[in-house]
Structure 1
Amino acid sequence: MAKEPKLEHSDLAGEFTDDGVTVLVDIFRPAGTNGDWKMEVVTQHEDLIEWEAPFATDREAFDEFLATVAQEGIRTFLEEEDPSVH
């Protein structure tokens, strides 16, 4: 059985609440590397939304999340139509 790679999680990762909706923002990369950061959002209903493109920094990833919330609202992550990819 292959071992799961260890991950380094950004200090910017965590729960985010807006408009009565809480999501978990996870920003991570392989531990011990200077690789690109990946971002996922997990909803209250355990839906997983992944960004396809990696981010050079964890701040860039979090800023993208904040921009999405500002432009589309946090409820965009709860929409019925396949929200799994951004």
Structure 2
Amino acid sequence: MTIDEDPEIEYSSLCEEVSRQGTTVKLQIYRLKGSAEGWSLEVVDHKNGSTVWEDLFATDQEAREEFYRTLELEGIHSFAEDRPSESLH
């Protein structure tokens, strides 16, 4: 790969749209293709606002479980408020 090339991203099969209380967000779990460093977790709202976890997850399933734990604790609106991008954890 040369410096000008963008790294190739591998998306998990666990990516999905999740709807609650009339709000839909996109659950995105991804990593650099071929990487063993772990999976990133990002939630994108209807205005393309992004919430990204700073920590990587060993498996895509662990990332998905963290999303659903946060969803149950804080609600879907915690991901979809009109705010600038932020990081969690």
TM over 0.5: yes
CA root-mean-square deviation: 1.6
Counterpart position of 1:61 = 63
- Superposed CA offset, 1:36-77 (max 9, x none): 000111100110111001101000000000001101100011
1:1-86 equivalence runs, <5 A: 2-80=4-82, 84-86=86-88
Q: Secondary structure at the residue paired with 1:85? A: strand
Residue 39 of structure 1 contacts residue 61 of structure 1 at CA under 8 Å; is this kept in 2? yes
1:32 Cα deviation after fit: 1.9
Q: Which runs of 5+ in 1 are unaligned?
A: none
Q: Secondary structure at the residue paired with 1:63? A: helix
Q: Which runs of 5+ in 2 are unaligned?
A: none
Q: Percent identical across equivalent pairs?
A: 36
Cα distance in 2, alignment partners of residues 8 and 15 from structure 1: 18
Give the letter for the 1:43 counterpart. D
Q: Secondary structure at the residue paired with 1:77? A: helix
Q: Give TM-score scaled by structure 2 length.
A: 0.86
Residue 13 of structure 1 contacts residue 27 of structure 1 at CA under 8 Å; is this kept in 2? yes
Residue 19 of structure 2 contacts residue 25 of structure 2 at CA under 8 Å; is this kept in 1? yes
Q: How many residues align?
A: 86
Runs of 4+ in 1 over 6 A off after TM superposition: none
